Amino acid sequence: MCQYETHVIETDKGPINVYFEKQSKLYCLVHTANNILQAHMFSPDDFKKYESNLDYSTLEKQKFVRNNDTVDDQSSKELMDVREKDKLSYENIFSYIKRGIYYFGNFNINILYFFMNKYNMELNWVDNKEIFQKINKEKCTTLFDDKYLNNKKLIAFVINVVKIKFFDIYHHRHFYALRKISGMWFKLDSSLDKPILFPTNEEVRLMKQ
């Protein structure tokens, strides 16, 4: 059962209503989707239903395409089209294992692409290396400037981090969203008790002085 409510956050612009879902089992990707949409649009059952139709052998090919520069764009597009309903492959024993794990949550990221696409939202992948380069080499105070953050087409970031690592056999990854609401950025992490309002870049610069 998902726990959700609307929080009234006091800001310099006045009170802002922020929809927020708290963690249930390993359903962080479900909560992330709903927190981005700012409404209880999807249930874990919706994700389980789509998960059961994923072909993991196809997903492995998709990973190969992402890392293979020699594959033409058309082939990449065909393999990356997560809207196509695939039949679950039982040829590989890991399909059973993965299906069992995902049944309790921790769903595949391709499902988020699929459901966001239903609301005409496009997800763009950003490699961690770009972030680390900004932090470690460029010594930047902020990762993104105001022009980037104020882009009307940009409404959210999806963050994915490893929270549990069992040797190199199993990595439990946690998803959460950074969402722009009424021109202000909030951390909507279902593992927390409530939304967190981020300071603006100007406020960060003033704190650094």
pLDDT per position as a tens digit, 156-207: 999 888 776 666 665 667 899 999 999 999 999 999 999 999 988 788 778 8
pLDDT of 29 = 92
Residues assigned a catalytic role: 28, 174, 189
Residue 67 has pLDDT above 80, yes or no: no
* DSSP one-letter string for the chain: --EEEEEEEEETTEEEEEEEEE--TB-HHHHHHHHHHTS----HHHHHHHHTT--HHHHHHHHHHHT-TTS-HHHHHHHH-TTSPPPPP-SSHHHHHHHHHHHTB---HHHHHHHHHHTT-------HHHHHHHHHTS--S-SS-HHHHT-TT--EEEEEEEEEEETTTEEEEEEEEEEEETTEEEEE-TTSSS-EEPPPHHHHHHHH-
- State pLDDT tens for residues 8-55: 999 988 999 999 999 988 899 999 999 999 999 999 999 988 887 776
pLDDT of residue 2: 73
